[in-house]
Amino acid sequence: MDGDSGLNILYVDTLDVMHIPQLELRPVSSPFHDMTPGTHAYPLGQIDLSITFGDHANFCSEVLTFEVVDFLGSYHAILGRPCYAKFMVIPNYTYLKLKMPGLNGIITIGSTLSHTYTCDREHYELTTAVINSAELRSSGIQ
């Protein structure tokens, strides 16, 4: 969950695991910025996917548009402000919870602190490796 992001991001590896062919992507011509250090990135395309939160007794389903990117990430997808708005989500970053209205009451989606720490650590290590690699390329060292 990233309340600062104006995009819903899906990594191409996740698309592959879902067995969705890249031919289903709609072309996109505009880049986005601040996703990779010091440069802009072009998504491979966009795709609309039906997303459901909750269980069979209390759920909420909407169609979200994702920008599909072809670079390394430690997540499967990043849900940004478009998701929050469509699902009317209220994030609580302190307790690592998302709350949203469902058919039969409030749906609460959460995680554990240990799982969040593991994801953040993997993201930090991946980001550090990408930045170090970019610095080596720009300095001419291979």
> Is it the case that residue 134 has pLDDT exceeding 80?
no
The one-character DSSP state at 26 is: B
109 in a structural domain: yes
Q: Determine contact, residues 103/59, Cβ cutoff 8 Å.
A: yes
User: How many domains is the chain built from?
Assistant: 1
Is the sign of the CA dihedral 50, 66, 79, 122 positive or negative?
positive
Instruction: Please tell me the predicted confidence (pLDDT) of residue 56.
Output: 92
Lowest mean pLDDT among 9-13, 45-49, 92-96: 92-96
Closest CA to 66 of 28, 96, 37: 28
Q: What is the pLDDT of residues 19-59, one digit of tens each?
A: 999 999 999 878 776 655 556 678 899 999 999 999 999 99
130 in a structural domain: yes
CATH number at residue 25: 2.40.70
Structural domain including 135 reads 9-139
98 in a structural domain: yes
3-state secondary structure of 1: coil
Mean pLDDT of the chain: 81
50 in a structural domain: yes
Instruction: Please tell me the predicted confidence (pLDDT) of residue 58.
Output: 95
Instruction: Please tell me the predicted confidence (pLDDT) of residue 59.
Output: 94
1 in a structural domain: no
Residues in a beta bridge with 65: 48
Q: Does the pTM of the predicted model rise above 0.75?
A: no
2 in a structural domain: no
Per-residue CA distances from 137 to 35, 111, 133, 141 (Å): 18, 37, 6, 6
